Amino acid sequence: MRKLGHEIAASLLELFLPASCLACGQPPVREERAVMLCRGCRNEIEPITEPLCTCCGQQFRNSGGGNHLCGLCLSDHYHFTMARALLRYTPPITKVISRFKYHGRTAALKTFRTLHEQIPVPGLIDRPDLIIPVPLHRKRLRERGFNQALLLARAFYPDHGSLIDFAVLERQRYTAPQTSLSGKARRQNLKKAFRVKNSEVVAGKRVLLIDDVFTTGTTVNECAAVLKKAGAKEVAVLTLARVD
Ligand SMILES: [Zn+2]
Ligand SMILES: [Zn+2]
Protein backbone atom coordinates (compact mmCIF):
# COMPACT_ATOMS: atom_id res chain seq x y z
CA MET A 1 0.00 0.00 0.00
CA ARG A 2 2.79 2.33 0.95
CA LYS A 3 4.53 1.59 -2.31
CA LEU A 4 1.35 2.20 -4.26
CA GLY A 5 0.92 5.51 -2.47
CA HIS A 6 4.43 6.44 -3.45
CA GLU A 7 3.73 5.61 -7.07
CA ILE A 8 0.53 7.64 -7.13
CA ALA A 9 2.43 10.58 -5.66
CA ALA A 10 5.12 10.14 -8.34
CA SER A 11 2.49 10.08 -11.11
CA LEU A 12 0.83 13.19 -9.71
CA LEU A 13 4.15 14.97 -9.61
CA GLU A 14 4.68 14.07 -13.24
CA LEU A 15 1.36 15.69 -14.08
CA PHE A 16 2.24 19.00 -12.53
CA LEU A 17 5.96 19.37 -13.02
CA PRO A 18 7.19 20.61 -16.38
CA ALA A 19 8.09 17.63 -18.58
CA SER A 20 11.65 16.44 -18.33
CA CYS A 21 13.58 14.02 -20.51
CA LEU A 22 13.04 10.51 -19.16
CA ALA A 23 16.68 9.68 -19.67
CA CYS A 24 18.70 12.76 -18.71
CA GLY A 25 16.17 15.06 -17.03
CA GLN A 26 16.60 18.05 -19.36
CA PRO A 27 13.39 19.76 -20.46
CA PRO A 28 12.40 18.63 -23.95
CA VAL A 29 11.12 21.29 -26.35
CA ARG A 30 7.48 21.23 -27.39
CA GLU A 31 7.76 18.90 -30.40
CA GLU A 32 9.73 16.39 -28.35
CA ARG A 33 7.02 16.11 -25.70
CA ALA A 34 5.38 13.15 -27.46
CA VAL A 35 8.38 10.98 -26.70
CA MET A 36 9.40 12.79 -23.50
CA LEU A 37 13.02 12.63 -24.53
CA CYS A 38 15.27 15.56 -25.35
CA ARG A 39 16.67 15.75 -28.86
CA GLY A 40 20.08 14.44 -27.79
CA CYS A 41 18.63 11.34 -26.13
CA ARG A 42 16.08 10.76 -28.89
CA ASN A 43 18.92 10.76 -31.44
CA GLU A 44 20.89 8.24 -29.43
CA ILE A 45 18.09 5.70 -29.34
CA GLU A 46 18.83 2.92 -31.81
CA PRO A 47 15.91 1.24 -33.57
CA ILE A 48 16.69 -2.28 -34.77
CA THR A 49 16.97 -2.30 -38.53
CA GLU A 50 17.38 -4.94 -41.21
CA PRO A 51 19.23 -7.08 -42.04
CA LEU A 52 18.30 -9.28 -39.12
CA CYS A 53 17.76 -12.92 -38.19
CA THR A 54 14.30 -13.87 -39.45
CA CYS A 55 13.76 -15.95 -36.31
CA CYS A 56 15.31 -14.35 -33.23
CA GLY A 57 15.53 -10.83 -34.66
CA GLN A 58 19.23 -10.35 -33.99
CA GLN A 59 20.51 -7.45 -36.03
CA PHE A 60 23.42 -8.25 -38.35
CA ARG A 61 26.13 -5.66 -38.51
CA ASN A 62 28.08 -4.58 -41.59
CA SER A 63 26.10 -7.02 -43.66
CA GLY A 64 25.08 -5.86 -47.10
CA GLY A 65 22.97 -9.00 -47.53
CA GLY A 66 19.34 -9.58 -46.68
CA ASN A 67 17.65 -11.15 -43.68
CA HIS A 68 18.58 -14.74 -42.92
CA LEU A 69 18.76 -17.16 -40.01
CA CYS A 70 21.58 -16.73 -37.49
CA GLY A 71 23.72 -19.72 -36.46
CA LEU A 72 21.72 -20.32 -33.31
CA CYS A 73 18.37 -20.31 -35.09
CA LEU A 74 19.68 -22.62 -37.82
CA SER A 75 19.96 -25.24 -35.08
CA ASP A 76 16.28 -24.81 -34.12
CA HIS A 77 17.14 -23.26 -30.82
CA TYR A 78 13.85 -21.48 -30.13
CA HIS A 79 10.22 -22.52 -29.75
CA PHE A 80 8.85 -19.21 -31.05
CA THR A 81 8.45 -18.50 -34.76
CA MET A 82 9.94 -15.05 -34.56
CA ALA A 83 11.11 -12.50 -32.04
CA ARG A 84 11.30 -8.82 -32.81
CA ALA A 85 12.29 -5.79 -30.78
CA LEU A 86 11.89 -2.08 -31.36
CA LEU A 87 15.24 -0.92 -30.03
CA ARG A 88 18.75 -2.03 -29.26
CA TYR A 89 19.23 -2.27 -25.51
CA THR A 90 21.78 0.54 -25.31
CA PRO A 91 21.87 3.86 -23.42
CA PRO A 92 19.84 5.98 -23.03
CA ILE A 93 16.87 3.57 -23.37
CA THR A 94 18.46 1.25 -20.78
CA LYS A 95 18.06 4.05 -18.25
CA VAL A 96 14.47 4.79 -19.26
CA ILE A 97 13.55 1.09 -18.96
CA SER A 98 15.21 0.71 -15.59
CA ARG A 99 13.44 3.80 -14.20
CA PHE A 100 10.15 2.48 -15.55
CA LYS A 101 10.64 -1.02 -14.21
CA TYR A 102 12.32 -0.46 -10.87
CA HIS A 103 11.18 3.05 -9.95
CA GLY A 104 7.64 3.04 -11.29
CA ARG A 105 8.20 5.86 -13.83
CA THR A 106 5.10 4.81 -15.73
CA ALA A 107 5.13 8.12 -17.60
CA ALA A 108 7.58 6.30 -19.87
CA LEU A 109 4.69 4.25 -21.27
CA LYS A 110 3.62 7.18 -23.42
CA THR A 111 7.11 7.16 -24.90
CA PHE A 112 7.05 3.42 -25.52
CA ARG A 113 3.67 3.74 -27.21
CA THR A 114 4.94 6.50 -29.50
CA LEU A 115 8.10 4.55 -30.34
CA HIS A 116 5.94 1.53 -31.19
CA GLU A 117 3.89 3.69 -33.54
CA GLN A 118 6.97 5.20 -35.17
CA ILE A 119 9.33 2.24 -35.53
CA PRO A 120 8.54 -0.40 -38.15
CA VAL A 121 8.91 -4.00 -36.98
CA PRO A 122 9.79 -6.08 -40.04
CA GLY A 123 8.04 -9.41 -40.46
CA LEU A 124 6.05 -9.44 -37.21
CA ILE A 125 2.63 -11.13 -37.40
CA ASP A 126 0.11 -8.32 -37.68
CA ARG A 127 -3.08 -9.98 -36.48
CA PRO A 128 -2.43 -12.13 -33.44
CA ASP A 129 -5.42 -13.92 -31.90
CA LEU A 130 -4.07 -13.41 -28.43
CA ILE A 131 -1.58 -11.00 -26.85
CA ILE A 132 0.08 -12.39 -23.73
CA PRO A 133 2.45 -10.40 -21.52
CA VAL A 134 5.21 -12.46 -19.88
CA PRO A 135 3.81 -12.98 -16.38
CA LEU A 136 5.49 -12.14 -13.09
CA HIS A 137 5.23 -14.41 -10.08
CA ARG A 138 2.63 -13.00 -7.70
CA LYS A 139 5.29 -12.37 -5.09
CA ARG A 140 7.30 -10.22 -7.50
CA LEU A 141 4.09 -8.56 -8.65
CA ARG A 142 3.43 -7.56 -5.05
CA GLU A 143 6.98 -6.26 -4.66
CA ARG A 144 6.90 -4.22 -7.85
CA GLY A 145 3.26 -3.24 -7.85
CA PHE A 146 2.78 -3.80 -11.59
CA ASN A 147 3.75 -6.15 -14.40
CA GLN A 148 5.84 -4.13 -16.83
CA ALA A 149 5.06 -6.53 -19.68
CA LEU A 150 1.31 -6.05 -19.24
CA LEU A 151 1.68 -2.27 -19.19
CA LEU A 152 3.80 -2.50 -22.35
CA ALA A 153 1.21 -4.71 -24.07
CA ARG A 154 -1.47 -2.13 -23.32
CA ALA A 155 0.77 0.72 -24.49
CA PHE A 156 1.66 -1.07 -27.74
CA TYR A 157 -1.92 -2.20 -28.50
CA PRO A 158 -4.24 0.39 -26.98
CA ASP A 159 -7.08 -0.61 -29.31
CA HIS A 160 -6.77 -4.35 -28.76
CA GLY A 161 -7.43 -4.61 -25.06
CA SER A 162 -9.80 -7.54 -25.60
CA LEU A 163 -6.97 -9.60 -27.12
CA ILE A 164 -4.68 -9.07 -24.14
CA ASP A 165 -4.81 -12.00 -21.73
CA PHE A 166 -2.66 -11.64 -18.62
CA ALA A 167 -4.17 -14.59 -16.74
CA VAL A 168 -3.86 -17.62 -18.99
CA LEU A 169 -0.09 -17.92 -18.65
CA GLU A 170 1.09 -18.16 -15.08
CA ARG A 171 4.48 -17.96 -13.44
CA GLN A 172 4.21 -20.68 -10.85
CA ARG A 173 7.73 -20.61 -9.47
CA TYR A 174 9.42 -17.67 -7.82
CA THR A 175 12.81 -17.54 -9.53
CA ALA A 176 16.02 -15.60 -9.13
CA PRO A 177 16.21 -12.57 -11.44
CA GLN A 178 17.55 -13.73 -14.81
CA THR A 179 19.93 -10.78 -14.92
CA SER A 180 21.98 -12.36 -12.15
CA LEU A 181 22.53 -15.55 -14.16
CA SER A 182 24.00 -16.57 -17.46
CA GLY A 183 23.56 -19.24 -20.12
CA LYS A 184 22.72 -22.67 -18.75
CA ALA A 185 21.87 -21.28 -15.32
CA ARG A 186 19.17 -19.13 -16.93
CA ARG A 187 17.56 -22.15 -18.52
CA GLN A 188 17.78 -24.19 -15.29
CA ASN A 189 16.34 -21.31 -13.33
CA LEU A 190 13.23 -21.18 -15.52
CA LYS A 191 12.52 -24.91 -15.70
CA LYS A 192 8.82 -25.43 -15.04
CA ALA A 193 8.53 -21.76 -14.12
CA PHE A 194 5.49 -21.20 -16.37
CA ARG A 195 2.25 -23.00 -16.93
CA VAL A 196 -0.86 -22.48 -19.03
CA LYS A 197 -3.90 -22.38 -16.79
CA ASN A 198 -6.45 -23.15 -19.46
CA SER A 199 -5.17 -24.70 -22.68
CA GLU A 200 -8.54 -24.18 -24.41
CA VAL A 201 -7.81 -20.47 -24.43
CA VAL A 202 -4.56 -20.87 -26.40
CA ALA A 203 -5.30 -23.95 -28.52
CA GLY A 204 -5.04 -23.18 -32.23
CA LYS A 205 -4.22 -19.51 -31.56
CA ARG A 206 -1.55 -17.26 -32.97
CA VAL A 207 -0.05 -15.77 -29.85
CA LEU A 208 2.01 -12.61 -29.53
CA LEU A 209 4.12 -12.59 -26.36
CA ILE A 210 5.20 -9.24 -24.96
CA ASP A 211 8.17 -8.51 -22.73
CA ASP A 212 10.39 -5.55 -21.95
CA VAL A 213 13.86 -6.82 -22.85
CA PHE A 214 15.06 -9.78 -24.91
CA THR A 215 18.43 -10.72 -23.42
CA THR A 216 19.24 -14.33 -24.31
CA GLY A 217 15.61 -15.12 -25.11
CA THR A 218 15.42 -17.78 -22.40
CA THR A 219 12.34 -16.35 -20.70
CA VAL A 220 10.24 -15.88 -23.83
CA ASN A 221 11.48 -19.22 -25.15
CA GLU A 222 10.24 -21.00 -22.01
CA CYS A 223 6.88 -19.24 -22.34
CA ALA A 224 6.71 -20.18 -26.03
CA ALA A 225 7.49 -23.83 -25.25
CA VAL A 226 4.69 -24.00 -22.68
CA LEU A 227 2.22 -22.24 -24.98
CA LYS A 228 3.07 -24.51 -27.92
CA LYS A 229 2.67 -27.55 -25.71
CA ALA A 230 -0.77 -26.27 -24.72
CA GLY A 231 -1.70 -26.19 -28.39
CA ALA A 232 -0.88 -22.67 -29.57
CA LYS A 233 -0.55 -22.68 -33.36
CA GLU A 234 2.22 -20.12 -33.38
CA VAL A 235 4.06 -17.93 -30.89
CA ALA A 236 5.71 -14.66 -31.89
CA VAL A 237 7.52 -12.32 -29.54
CA LEU A 238 7.72 -8.56 -29.35
CA THR A 239 9.95 -6.79 -26.87
CA LEU A 240 10.70 -3.14 -26.36
CA ALA A 241 14.45 -3.71 -26.54
CA ARG A 242 16.95 -6.39 -27.39
CA VAL A 243 20.48 -7.08 -26.21
CA ASP A 244 22.82 -7.59 -29.20
ZN1 LIG B 1 17.77 13.65 -22.57
ZN1 LIG C 1 18.48 -15.99 -34.76
With a cut of 60, say whether residue 16 has pLDDT above it.
Answer: no
Q: What confidence tens digit (pLDDT) does each residue in 26-54 have?
A: 887 666 667 888 889 999 999 999 999 99
Beta strands in 189-244 (DSSP E): 194-196, 206-214, 234-242
C-alpha 141/C-alpha 143 separation (Å) is: 5
| Whether 173 contacts 202, CB under 8 Å | no
Task: Give the distance (Å) from ligand 2 centre to CA of residue 212.
Answer: 18
Ligand nearest to the Cα of 244, by number: 2
pLDDT at 224 over 70: yes
Identify the sign of the CA torsion 137, 140, 146, 149: negative
Separation of 79 CA from ligand 2 center, angstroms?
Answer: 12
Kindly report, residue by residue over 49-103, the tens digit of the pLDDT: 999 999 999 999 876 789 999 999 999 889 999 999 999 999 999 999 999 999 9
CA atoms within 13 A on the CB side of 181: 16
d(CA 141, ligand 1 centre) in Å:
30
* Distance of alpha carbon 64 from the chain centroid: 28
CA of 20 to the centre of ligand 1 (A): 8
Closest among 225, 228, 221 to 205, alpha carbons compared: 228
Helix (H) or strand (E) holding 170: strand 169-171
CA distance 192 to 207: 20
Tell me whether strands 194-196 and 234-242 are parallel, antiparallel or unpaired. Answer: unpaired
- Strand 130-133 relative to strand 206-214, pairing: parallel
**More confident of the two residues 5 and 223:** 223
145-199 pLDDT, tens digit per residue, is 999 999 999 999 999 999 999 999 999 988 777 777 777 887 788 788 999 999 9
Band (pLDDT 50/70/90 cuts) for residue 18 is low
Ligand 2 centroid to 59 CA: how many Å? 9
Residue 22's CB: how many other CB atoms inside 10 A? 24
pLDDT of amino acid 238: 98
Ligand positioned closest to the Cα atom of 53? 2
Distances (CA, A) of 125 to 37, 64, 209: 29, 25, 11
Nearest ligand, CA of residue 28? Answer: 1
Q: Which of 116, 158, 151, 156 is nearest to 136 (CA)?
A: 151
pLDDT at 10: 57
